[in-house]
Amino acid sequence: MQVADNMAVSIHYTLTNDDGEVIDSSVGDDALVYLHGQGNIISGLEQALYGKEVGDKFNVRIPAEEAYGEFMEERVQVIPRSMFEGIDELEVGMKFHADVSSGPGVVSIVAIDGDDVTIDGNHPLAGMALTFDVEIVDVRPASREEIAHGHIHGPGGHHH
């Protein structure tokens, strides 16, 4: 069975950057299970998986614009500490849900200088080309309920 839209696809992957550093991997853990064609994974990887079958192994480099997008300087802002009302301790690396120019998103604190807090609304992997070593371990038709919900249910998928 081939990977196509509305298929439940299970993959093992190892994700590396251009320096060969491992960023993430499912090897030795549960496979990643997702609903193909619904934007549940980055677009470049989803495109690379079309037409593949169980047992296929491949390596693909995804450019930044087909992964988490280009790094956007305008998503880095300095805001006053007072914007974090009710939070006593701020630390670099903390993440917060916020309304950003593109809608709801996550911002990270990247620097603190007195009452000035620098936040970054870019994804941590924005601006990076990503390389995936992939093995397809299962492909099955998604259930009507999974298609209606836009994601996979059960082991390795979303649980309600």
What CATH number should be reported for the domain holding residue 49? 3.10.50.40
Does the pLDDT of residue 75 top 80, yes or no?
yes
Residue 112 and residue 142 share a domain: no
C-alpha distances in angstroms, 36 versus 22, 55, 85, 138, 141? Answer: 24, 17, 41, 12, 10
What pTM was estimated for this model as a whole? 0.83
What mean pLDDT do residues 146-159 have? 76
Kindly state the percentage of the chain with pLDDT values over 90: 85
Residue 85 and residue 64 share a domain: no
Q: Pairing between strand 116-120 and 103-113?
A: antiparallel
Does the pLDDT of residue 158 top 70, yes or no?
no
Does the pLDDT of residue 100 top 70, yes or no?
no
What mean pLDDT do residues 28-38 have? 95
Q: Is residue 159 one of the residues assigned to a domain?
A: no
pLDDT at residue 98, as a whole number: 83
User: Could you list the residue range(s) of the whole structural domain that residue 56 is in?
Assistant: 7-68+126-149
Q: Is residue 158 one of the residues assigned to a domain?
A: no
Q: Is residue 40 one of the residues assigned to a domain?
A: yes
Residue 33 and residue 20 share a domain: yes
